[in-house]
Amino acid sequence: NDDLLIRQVVDHGDGGGAVDENSLVNADHHFTIFKRKFGKVYATQEEHDYRFSVFKANLRRARRHQKLDPAAVHGVTQFSDLTPREFRRQFLGLNRRLRLPSDAHKAPILPTND
């Protein structure tokens, strides 16, 4: 059933970066396309191999996201060689320790009928 759900939303044309049931089998091919598309170059073979392992983990993650979020398309993005922790550190940045001031002005309630 999961595969059936995925087939309903994934573009099977050129892939467009979306994941499908074959993505993990062809992970090295997808990684080659990913590196070319996003201009990724790694300094050493060790770094390359590590990033490939992260990439494969993110393919599995994208499949999980696809199952949990079937109305969207999930797959390979520019962040596919980053661990979730690296992604959060480098590309997010909402400081949760900062809070709204207790005296923050609240927007007046607006009419929403008509």
Q: Is 16 in the site for another protein (CB under 8 A)?
A: yes
Rounded alpha-carbon distances, angstroms, from residue 61 to 49, 83, 101? 18, 10, 37
The distance of closest approach from Cβ of residue 25 to another protein in the complex, given in angstroms and rounded to an integer, is 18
Q: Provide the CA 19 distance to its chain's centre, in angstroms.
A: 11
* Rounded Cα distance, 30 and 81, in Å: 12
Q: State the residue for tokens 């550190």.
A: 89
Site residues for another protein, 60-89, by CB under 8 A, read 61-62, 65, 68-75, 77-80, 82, 84, 87-89
Contacts with another protein, residue ranges (CB under 8 A):
5, 8-9, 16-18, 58, 61-62, 65, 68-75, 77-80, 82, 84, 87-102, 104-112
